Amino acid sequence: MSDEQPLDPLARPHAPRPSPLAPTFMHAALDQARQAMAVGEVPVGAVIEHEGRIIAAAHNSRESLHDPTAHAEMIAITQAAGELGDWRLEDCTLYVTLEPCAMCAGAIVLARIPRVVYGAADPKAGAVASLYQLLADRRLNHQAEVTGGVLSRECGEILTEFFRRQREAGKK
């Protein structure tokens, strides 16, 4: 009988130090979030980096596409797979302004994205750190390194401003 303890399937891996380029890529994701806000979408932006260059950039488009799955991450993953000609995004990093939800975390697992960097935490729907830790769950066939809090103030402020304007306009 082994003295080794079984792995905790919910244990979080050690958070890696963000790349020195993380703020540069997060600024590109913020640009996408600003574009979303300009067209009345919840301002979340995402970019996917591969070998030092952005291969996909997207923002939330749920309202304009009438599609509940049109989150920035989902659209960016589809774009990146098309750009690389492969559904496996194994050498990529996803940068997103808001912590991914359960749907997007599932897509990250399925796309085999090894690194995720997010800006603002999402205490109501975050599925990589706040509510769930899906990207660290060893019961799944893929895990990703997660770094949160990159440009968190800026990422949070754009969301706060958007929802303040929505309330003032009497919208949901």
- Report the catalytic residues: 73
CA distance 65 to 24: 28
The pair of structure tokens assigned to 16 is: 């890696």
b/e per residue 98-127 (b: at least 16 CB within 10 A)? bbbbeebbbbbbebbbbbbbbbbbbeeebb
CA distance 49 to 26: 10
